[in-house]
């Protein structure tokens, strides 16, 4: 049965001018965390390395109103040399799965006419995930959003763990604009320090030193994970919680602390559902396995070493 995307929730948000960032979306009322805001179907999906002519050829097959909507999209100055079609495509497309039709498995980017109006923020409150079965990109509220707040996605999730200057440089290089989001508009050394600590905890987790016992190392890593979860909250970030909870789960398993492993895994699953929708296959599989194992009475541990923070 063909999938019918939900209608955009224009009862919850509307488009308007955003100072310093062109057009964007703003909440019309308080929006609860997890609310599906938009399911958008790409007008076309294309691989990397295409030409202006290829984009034009896809566009001219579409109805004139769609062509006009495409031509109304913004084109960042660093894409001007690409030509008016490829430039607009590159400035507005989002990653939309892989090419499984021609067997190449190439990464594809898709042009979503409504979603192209989401601005970027380094404190994103909207997340998106490509649903390959339904052929739609789904946008959900990553946190509770207050009335009049702008709805923003992260164009580059990995750069959320950089300092303000590094984030701005990365976005200027990749997307051609100077970020004016709430986290970038004023310099904040404390925020920079927090993001550096988060980068270390998430991207460069520590190795066990030769002087440490295994339990000393696990305790040190556990303290770092708990601190990182607090820092994410202080920075207003909802991404990466899944990774940290999952690391907490593995740590508890390594320590033989199965009861707490289970609790950490449940948190990883809940965090994964918030960021990526309810179907994170790996976390779901491990959760089922851990549930089954915990049902065996002889697996129950006596010691609770690594409780959730």
Ligand X SMILES: C[S@@+](CC[C@H](N)C(=O)[O-])C[C@H]1O[C@@H](n2cnc3c(N)ncnc32)[C@H](O)[C@@H]1O
State the residue number with the nearest CB to ligand X. Answer: 22
C-alpha dihedral, 158 to 164 to 166 to 172, nearest 10°: 90
Q: Choose one: 104-112, 114-122, 162-170, 225-233; the region binding ligand X (CB under 6 A).
A: 114-122
Q: Is 182 in the site for ligand X (CB under 6 A)?
A: no
By three-state DSSP, how is residue 285 classified? Answer: helix
Interface of this chain with ligand X, residues 62 to 101, rule: CB under 6 A: 73-74, 76, 91-92
Pair 95, 131: CB distance under 8 Å: no
Three-class secondary structure of residue 42 per DSSP: coil
Find the binder of ligand X among 5, 8, 9, 23 (CB under 6 A): 23
Residue 117 in the binding site for ligand X (CB under 6 A):
yes
Per DSSP, helices labelled H in 24-127 are 52-59, 64-71, 84-92
Q: Which stretch binds ligand X (CB under 6 A): 95-103, 172-180, 247-255, 283-291?
A: 172-180
Cα first-last separation, the chain: 45
Which CB atom, from 141 or from 154, has the smaller least distance to ligand X? 154
> How many residues are listed for the chain in this entry?
309
Single residue of 27, 37, 55, 116 touching ligand X by CB under 6 A: 116
CA distance 174 to 124: 18
Taking CB under 6 A as the criterion, the residue among 27, 43, 151, 179 binding ligand X is 179
Find the binder of ligand X among 58, 88, 90, 120 (CB under 6 A): 120
Q: Contact between 114 and ligand X (CB under 6 A)?
A: no
Select the span of 18-26, 58-66, 135-143, 196-204 touching ligand X (CB under 6 A).
18-26
Any residues with CB less than 8 A from the CB of 286 and at least 6 apart, and which?
A: 249, 265
Residue 180 within binding range of ligand X, rule CB under 6 A? yes
Q: Considering the rule CB under 6 A, would residue 15 count as an interface residue with ligand X?
A: no
Q: Which residues lie closer than 8 Å to 280 by C-beta, 6 or more apart?
A: 242, 269, 272, 273
- Distance CA(124)–CA(116), nearest Å, equals 15
Q: Using CA atoms, how far apart are residues 127 and 38, in angstroms rounded to an integer?
A: 11
Q: Does 21 bind ligand X (CB under 6 A)?
A: yes
Give dist(CA 248, CA 229) in Å, integer. 11
Of the candidates 263, 206, 270, the one whose C-alpha atom is nearest the C-alpha of residue 238 is 270
Does residue 181 belong to the site contacting ligand X (CB under 6 A)?
A: yes
Is 20 or 95 the residue whose CB approaches ligand X more closely? 20
From 21-29, 61-69, 232-240, 283-291, give the range in contact with ligand X by CB under 6 A: 21-29
Write down the least CB distance from residue 181 to ligand X, Å: 4
Residue ranges binding ligand X (CB under 6 A):
20-24, 73-74, 76, 91-92, 116-117, 119-121, 175-177, 179-181
């Amino acid at each position: 049965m063909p999938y019918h995307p939900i209608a955009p929730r224009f009862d919850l948000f509307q488009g308007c001018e955003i100072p310093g960032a062109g057009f964007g979306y703003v909440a019309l009322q308080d929006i609860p965390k997890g609310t599906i805001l938009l399911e958008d179907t790409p007008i076309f999906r294309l691989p990397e390395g295409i030409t202006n002519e290829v984009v034009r050829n896809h566009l001219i097959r579409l109805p004139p109103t769609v062509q006009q909507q495409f031509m109304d999209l913004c084109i960042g100055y660093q894409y001007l040399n690409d030509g008016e079609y490829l430039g607009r495509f590159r400035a507005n497309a989002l990653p939309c799965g892989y090419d499984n039709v021609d067997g190449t498995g190439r990464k594809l980017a898709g042009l979503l006419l409504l979603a192209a109006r989401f601005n970027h923020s380094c404190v994103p409150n909207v997340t998106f995930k490509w649903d390959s079965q339904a052929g739609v990109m789904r946008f959900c509220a990553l946190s509770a959003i207050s009335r009049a707040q702008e709805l923003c996605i992260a164009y580059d999730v990995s750069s959320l763990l950089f300092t303000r200057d590094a984030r701005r440089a990365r976005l200027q290089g990749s997307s051609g604009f100077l970020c004016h989001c709430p986290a970038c508009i004023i310099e904040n050394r404390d925020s920079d320090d927090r993001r550096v600590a988060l980068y270390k905890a998430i991207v460069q987790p520590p190795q066990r030193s030769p002087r440490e016992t295994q339990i000393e190392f696990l305790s040190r890593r556990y303290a770092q994970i708990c601190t990182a979860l607090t820092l994410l909250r202080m920075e207003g970030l909802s991404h990466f919680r899944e990774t940290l909870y999952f690391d907490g789960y593995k740590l508890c398993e390594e320590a033989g602390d199965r009861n707490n492993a289970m609790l950490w895994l449940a948190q990883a699953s809940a965090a994964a559902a918030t960021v990526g929708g309810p179907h994170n296959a790996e976390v779901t599989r491990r959760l089922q396995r851990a549930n089954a194992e915990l049902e065996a009475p002889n697996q129950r541990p006596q010691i609770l070493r690594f409780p959730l923070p």
